[in-house]
């Protein structure tokens, strides 16, 4: 990952934890203040809410976005974290009651 460029980006695949029909990716875009997270998901369960969390290598998670369920299970969500893109170690999506739905590979 390039550092120093405010527009550097990398794509991270997300893997379903319970249902093989959930798919997604996160595009991490370097910003002067941290990282913008562009999340695209399909096959989400019909019940929400959902939460995006991002962690650095020490395992400290930051809440980065929240959203409700959609009728078709498809979402494009914009999130943000103060963690620099080059230091993002794990991305996860939680469902109702904190159930792990997806995580980075």
DSSP letters spanning 18-81: S-TT-EEEEEEEEETTEEEEEEEEES--SS--EEEEEEETT--EEEEEEE---TTS-EEEEEEE
Mean pLDDT calculated for residue range 63-86: 96
pLDDT at 4 over 90: no
Mean pLDDT calculated for residue range 20-43: 93
Whether residue 21 lies inside any domain: the answer is: yes
Whether residue 1 lies inside any domain: the answer is: no
CA 43 – CA 4 distance, rounded (Å): 35
Whether residue 56 lies inside any domain: the answer is: yes
Closest by CA position to 77, among listed 31, 14, 20, 19: 14
pLDDT band at 19 (very low <50, low <70, confident <90, very high): low
Whether residue 66 lies inside any domain: the answer is: yes
Number of domains composing the chain: 1
Residue where the block lists tokens 């002067």: 32
The range of the structural domain enclosing residue 74 comes to: 9-104
| Phi, psi angle pair for 102, to nearest 5° | -145, 160
**What average pLDDT does the structure give for the chain?**
90
Whether residue 80 lies inside any domain: the answer is: yes
> CATH number, domain at 48?
2.60.40.200
- The pLDDT, as a whole number, for residue 100 is 93
Whether residue 2 lies inside any domain: the answer is: no
- The pLDDT, as a whole number, for residue 15 is 87
82 vs 4, more confident: 82
Residue where the block lists tokens 């962690």: 55
Whether residue 3 lies inside any domain: the answer is: no
Whether residue 4 lies inside any domain: the answer is: no
């Amino acid at each position: 990952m390039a550092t120093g460029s405010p527009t550097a980006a990398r794509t991270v695949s997300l893997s379903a934890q319970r249902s093989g029909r959930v798919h997604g990716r996160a595009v991490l875009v370097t910003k002067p203040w941290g990282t913008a997270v562009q999340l695209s998901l399909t096959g989400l369960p019909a019940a929400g809410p959902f939460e995006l969390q991002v962690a650095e290598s020490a395992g400290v998670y930051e809440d980065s976005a929240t959203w409700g369920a959609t009728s078709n299970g498809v979402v494009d969500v914009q999130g943000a974290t103060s963690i620099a893109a080059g230091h993002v170690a794990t991305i996860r999506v939680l469902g109702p009651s904190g159930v792990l739905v997806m995580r980075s590979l």
